[in-house]
Amino acid sequence: MYQTKISRSPRSNLPTMYDLPSEDQEQSGLPDEFHDFQPELLRLTFCPPNYSSQEIFTGSDLNLYYDDRHTNWYKRPDWFGVVNVSRFYENRDLRLSYVIWQEEVTPLVVVELISPGTEQEDLGQTLREVNQPPTKWQVYEQILQIPYYFVFNRYTEELKAFSLVADRYQPLAISGQGVWLEEAQLGLGLWRGEYQGFDRLWLRWYDRDGNWILAPTEIAEQERQIAAQERQIAAQERQKVTELEALLALYQERFGDLGKR
């Protein structure tokens, strides 16, 4: 069972979110537009129905501090989702980073987007170097024990999924639409369509009925199309009434008023 709460050392002696760097110390900025748009779509469609919006947090390209014994160690997932946590830091502030010993809630799911040179690390094929922090895979699997881990290669359009079984990541079969996450009451799959004006395969969330969760802009566009369709139907009905009235007037002109017969 997914345990959201974790026990840590007393918080009073540990640095807070405000004390820790929020930028990537080795690489600044987003690597490309895809690493901007794809996490955005994941965030907008991650709407677990069993949690309120105030109990959900998602982060992208955000420092994730994971070890209270090495407080400067962090990983920087392309996207991660947390449930059963306050939407805001201590219910009052926007997060600069996600600090495990402060939050005391681990992510439910992490998504990494393969970039040139990151595939081996993302798939756990690298070893920890001497006197260096643990690898990304070790952090997600062994330290934080994040229940679900996804790796998407946009170049090959391949999605790999892993779930935590007996404290180790095991591959998940991707069948049908994608992979169902019971804890979130959502599934994650590949959708081909247009987002931000670009048509390709995108990762996005879907509900139990297999419906893709719509982003706010998509909802607005859908509502616009429905309204336009309703206006068109109303205009067609008015046109029919006008045509019938014209036919009736023509008939009365030729044959007189039927009501007076």
Summarised one tens digit per residue, pLDDT across range 40-77 is: 999 999 999 999 999 999 999 999 999 999 999 999 99
Instruction: Give mean pLDDT, residues 24-30.
Output: 54
Contact between 39 and 112 (Cβ < 8 Å): no
Grouping H, G, I as helix, E, B as strand and the rest as coil, residue 152 is strand
DSSP letter at 133 equals P
Residue 4: per-residue pLDDT: 58
Cβ–Cβ contacts within 10 Å for residue 20, how many? 17
Contact between 114 and 153 (Cβ < 8 Å): yes
Residue 28: per-residue pLDDT: 43
Tens of pLDDT, residues 134-167: 999 999 999 999 999 999 999 999 999 999 999 9
Residue 245: per-residue pLDDT: 85
Q: What is the pTM of this model?
A: 0.80
Task: Please state which of the ranges 12-16, 208-212, 236-240 shows the lowest mean pLDDT.
Answer: 12-16
DSSP letter at 123 equals T
